[in-house]
Amino acid sequence: MTVNKTSRWDAADYGRNAAFVPALGAPVVELLAPQAGERILDLGCGDGALTVKLVEAGAIVTGVDASPAMVEAAQARGLDAHVADGQQLTFPPEFDAVFSNAALHWMLDPAAVARGVFRALKPGGRFVGEMGGQGNIATLRAALHAELAERGYSMPGGDPQWYAAPDEFRAVYEAAGFVDVVAHLIPRPTPLPAGVAGWLKTFRTGFLDSAAVPDEEQAGVAQAVERRLESAFRQPDGRWLADYVRLRFSMRKPH
C-alpha cells in the first residue's frame, strides 16, 4: 500500500486560505445532483465545507478523510465524519453515490481506491467528482522544487501526487468494474487569496516537513517561491492565479 506521507493539515488555516476549494466545487456538486434521502459517501471530505451542501440537498451523508484534524473540523459542523484511508475503504454496498472533491490526487494507489468505491456503491450507484488532473500546478511545483534544490534539500519520493490523464483515469476505473466512465480535464486558473506563500503554508507544510526543511525556514522558502512565481502568477490587479487543472469525472456501477 502506498500512502502519501506529505500531508499535514491545519483546519483553521485551511478554512481561511482554502475557502476556494469548496467554493469552486459548486459545479461538481451540480453534476452529482444529490437527491433528498439518498445515502452519499464524501470521500476526502476535508473540513466538510462542501459536504454541508450535500446535506442541505437532503442527502444522508457520511464523510471520510485521512486527516484527524480535518475530520474533527467536519464533526464540529455537525457532520457524520470519520477518519479513514481512501485506499482501504471497507464499506459494504450501501451508498447511492460516492462524491469526491480535490482529494483523489493524494491517494497513490488508485486501483485500491477504485475497488473500495465500487464495493461501497449499491448496484446502479454513481461516483462523481473532481481532482487534480494532468499538468495540475506544474509551474507551482517546479518553482518549489527548484527553490528546495537550490537550498540543498532533497525531496523524498519526489513529491508524489496522482494527477491523472483522462485515459489513465478511465482505465483504472473500468478495470474496477465501472461503466459509463466520463473524464475530462478542465484548466482552471485559481485565485490564491493568501498568495503563493499562504498557499504553500496551507497545502505544503507536510511536504516541507518531509523534505526536512526546519519550521523556522519554511516561511522563507515560501516567500522565495512566491518571488519566483511573480511574473507567471501575479495579475495586474494584484491577485495571484495558480495553474490548477481539474479532472472532472462521473461513472456508475452496473446493475
What residues line the site for ligand BEZ (CB under 6 A)? 102, 105, 132, 136-137, 203, 244
Report the C-alpha gap between 29 and 21 in whole angstroms: 12
Report the C-alpha gap between 75 and 83 in whole angstroms: 11
Which single residue brings its beta carbon nearest to ligand BEZ?
132
Least distance in angstroms from the C-beta of 82 to ligand BEZ: 22
Least distance in angstroms from the C-beta of 101 to ligand BEZ: 8
Phi, psi for 191 (deg, rounded to 5): -65, 135
Least distance in angstroms from the C-beta of 203 to ligand BEZ: 4
Q: Given the DSSP bridges, would you call strands 95-101 and 121-132 parallel, antiparallel or unpaired?
A: parallel
Nearest to ligand BEZ of 125, 198 (CB atom): 198
Nearest to ligand BEZ of 105, 126 (CB atom): 105
Burial of 80 (0-12, 13-18, 19+ CB in 10 A): middle
Least distance in angstroms from the C-beta of 119 to ligand BEZ: 25
Query: Among residues 220, 99, 221, which one has the least CA distance to residue 155?
Result: 221
Nearest to ligand BEZ of 16, 124 (CB atom): 16
Nearest to ligand BEZ of 126, 201 (CB atom): 201
Report the C-alpha gap between 79 and 10 in whole angstroms: 18
Least distance in angstroms from the C-beta of 159 to ligand BEZ: 10
Least distance in angstroms from the C-beta of 93 to ligand BEZ: 29
Are 21 and 102 spatial neighbours (Cβ–Cβ below 8 Å)? yes
Nearest to ligand BEZ of 201, 253 (CB atom): 201
Nearest to ligand BEZ of 59, 208 (CB atom): 208
Buried b (16+ CB within 10 A) or exposed e, 195-211: bbbbbbbbbbbbbbbbb
Element (H, E) at 129: strand 121-132
